Each structure stands twice: as C-alpha cells, then as structure tokens.
Structure 1
Amino acid sequence: MMDVGAHPIGSLYAAERGRLSQFVRRLLRGGAGAEDLVQQVFLRLLVSGCPGHGRATLMAAARNLALNHLRDLRRRGETVLSDEAFAQIADAAPSPEAVTLYRSELRRLLEAVAALPPRRRDIFVLSRFEGLSHAEIAARLDIAPRTVVNQLVAALASLDRTLGPA
C-alpha cells in the first residue's frame, strides 16, 4: 500500500481537495457525489503518472467529470433522494404477516390437493402446476381428453368444497 502523503499527488490532494470539492458541488448544484468526483480526478492523475499538473488542469478535469456525471444522471433519469424521502418509500416486499398468511394458504392448498384421489390429483397437478394442455395430459396418461376434463372439473369442485370460498 502506498503512503499517499509521501507521494507528490498526496500533497497536491491535501492542498487542492477543498477548493475542488467546493467547485464540483457548485457545478452539481449541491448534488451528492462531489467528493467522489474529486477523488476520481486525483485517481486519474495518479494512474496517468503525471503529477506535474497545475490547478487549471485539475479544475478542467473536475469540471469534465462533473458535467459527465450530470449528463449520465439525466440520461438514466436517476433521482437523488434525501434520507427522509427514501425512508418514506413503501417496501414492495410483503410483510412478515402476509408471508405467514400466504404460506398457510399454500399449505392448505397442497394438503387439499394431496387428499384428492391419485388419478384426479395427477391430472390436476399436470394441468395447474405443470401447465400441460388437456391433450398433452391425455397423451401422457393414455386416457381420453374428455376424461381429463371430467377429472379436472371434479378436482376443482372438491378443492372448492375443501378450501371454501375465497
């Protein structure tokens, strides 16, 4: 790890960081990210291996990075939110209570499906869980398509009785 204070850029950073940060904050109109952009200026300077740049070069680099940053924000349509505004955004994830309720309902449904007679259960699972058509189920189980329809109707009626109205 390099000791930045011993490097010529370290002293340049110490001398110019505050002024560049203020300049970039003005360009960003107080927007977040000014410190990051100033660090990028010095990082690029360090990577280029040309520590002899003056204030004008640093200001131009900072200006260019700030303008690129603003252009990128406009292009992406990104909005910077304050901490208070961010905290008020509703979480799209279901609440723990809703997750528990959904799991309970799913468990009830699976138990009711498991209680169906074997052939009816197989037809229901192939239709509703695996998404097969009536013809595909009939071909797979070697039964008539009409039997598939009759068994599905019977399965749905049985599940409706077991689970009750929604």
Structure 2
Amino acid sequence: MTNETLKGLFLAHQGELQAYLMKQLRNAEAAADLTQETFLRYAERTPTAVASIANERSYLYRTAHNLAVDYVRQQSRRRTDLTAGEAFSDIADDRPNLEEETAARQRLAQISATLAELPELTRKIFILNRVDGLTYAQVAERLSISDSSVQKHLAKALALITRRLRETNSR
C-alpha cells in the first residue's frame, strides 16, 4: 500500500469516522485520537492483509468500533466514584485527640520515672510480667526466685505506680 493510497483513504473517511466516534464517545479528543489509531492500524497491516480486505470502509468502521469499546472499558476501570464528604461523617475517628494523646504521654513519662525509682529486681519483675507478659512462675524461674517473691515485688511496684499517678492527678 502506498502513502498516496493511505492518504486518499484518510481524506475520504476521516471525517465520517471521527463523527461516528464522537457520537459514540461524546468526547472530541478521544474521537480524534481513536480516528488516528484506526488509520494507524490499517497502515500497519501487511500488503497481503490489506489485499484481503474486501471493503475498506467497513474495515475502518469495525476497527473504530472495536477501539471505542476498548476505550470505554478502559475509562470505566479508571473511573472512581467520588463519595461526598458527608458519607464519611458517620465513621467514628478512633484516634485520640491531641489532649488525650498528651495526657497519655504524660502518664507514660510518669510511669517511666516511677519505674526508675524502683529497686532493680522489682523493676525487672514488673517489666517481665507487665510488659513482656510472663507469668509469675516464668518470672520466678527466670530470676531464680520464688513465686511469692514475684508477687511481693509486683505488689510493691504497683502500689508505687498507683500512688504516683494519684499524686499527679490530684495536682
């Protein structure tokens, strides 16, 4: 196929194909792009394949139609439905507000400071049990002490932490 043949085909059918695609897509830019793509696909065919086309106009319309279907499918995959902001107002925000976060940080700092006041063994027992989640028996075994010693140290630690938090809250 010569450039002149393709040019003649383009001049003869470009306007009607673009109008057809515009009617299908209601998008002038997409219609123009797909019209060019239709002729590009025709031009890329081998001379043998072009010779086998009985009706060039029909071939162009079928190609344009197929490209339009692909375009619509692609657009529907890309489209995301916008949700009005009011739809999100019913969803509870489970994040703490700034005041709650500040209070939690202060409590944590107070607990850390209180833990620093504890004797080393009491602090280790508290951390192993309350932070690491070990049972009294596991803590006792790890530190080679009795279960009752673990309980006494934990009671001491909890009493001090509770007292310090109450003092902070009463200020």
- The reply to whether TM is greater than 0.5 is yes
SS of equivalent to 2:95 = coil
Please, what TM-score do these two structures have when normalized by structure 2?
0.54
Please, what TM-score do these two structures have when normalized by structure 1?
0.55
Match of residue 128 from structure 1: 130
Match of residue 86 from structure 2: 85
CA distance in 1, matches of 2:111, 2:25: 63
SS of equivalent to 2:127 = helix
Match of residue 71 from structure 2: 62
Name the structure with the higher helix share: 2
CA distance in 2, matches of 1:149, 1:21: 78
Question: Where do residues 1-166 of structure 1 align in structure 2 (5 Å cutoff)?
Answer: 20=25, 51-52=41-42, 54-65=63-74, 69=77, 80-82=82-84, 84-85=85-86, 88=89, 91-164=93-166
AA aligned to 1:105 is: R
Does the 8 Å contact 1:112/1:163 carry over to 2?
Answer: no
Q: Which has the larger radius of gyration?
A: 2
User: Is there any run of 5+ residues in structure 2 with no aligned partner, and where?
Assistant: 1-17, 43-59
Deviation at 1:59, TM superposition (A): 2.1
How has the CA–CA distance of structure 1 residues 114 and 55 changed in structure 2, closer, same or farther, with 3 Å as cutoff? same
SS of equivalent to 1:164 = helix
Deviation at 1:151, TM superposition (A): 1.3
